[in-house]
Amino acid sequence: MAMSTDVPWSSPEADLDAADFCACCLIDYNEGEKVKANCKLPVRSRPGGPVNKNALRNAASRIFQMSGVPVEARRKAAVSLVRLMKEAEIDVGDVVRRLAGMK
């Protein structure tokens, strides 16, 4: 079970190198060397840190707005997002469940 927090959220992209930033994201479709542009939907402020509840809500709304992200990467992220939202006791919308392949 992931630990979660309610602290104010801001993306850690500017504060972390590419590898650490990608470790904080639900989507990482890099092949080989890490590039921040290929990592989307950060939910932690540092690798191994607590999941931020505000970041989860943000990810739930943004997961459908990302162009250029492979569909399979979004589906995999949706599965993780549903799990993390349940653990953080956040209501998961039907659209996110459907993207994750859940009823």
1 inside domain: no
2 inside domain: no
pLDDT band at 1; cut points 50, 70, 90: low
4 inside domain: no
For the stretch 87-100, pLDDT in tens is 999 999 888 999 88
75-97: string of b/e by CB count within 10 Å (b at 16+)? ebbbbbbbebbeebebebeeebb
Q: Which residue bears the tokens 């840190």?
A: 49
3 inside domain: no
60 inside domain: yes
pLDDT band at 77; cut points 50, 70, 90: very high
Segment 68-80 mean pLDDT: 92
For the stretch 30-73, pLDDT in tens is 999 999 999 999 999 999 999 999 999 999 999 988 888 888 99
5 inside domain: no
Give the pLDDT confidence score for residue 43 in this predicted structure. 97
Count of the separate structural domains present in the chain: 1
At 40 the three-state DSSP class reads strand
44 inside domain: yes
Residue 37 belongs to domain spanning: 11-99
For residue 2, pLDDT over 80 is answered with no
81 inside domain: yes
**Can you give the pTM of this predicted structure?**
0.89
Helix (H) or strand (E) holding 82: helix 71-87
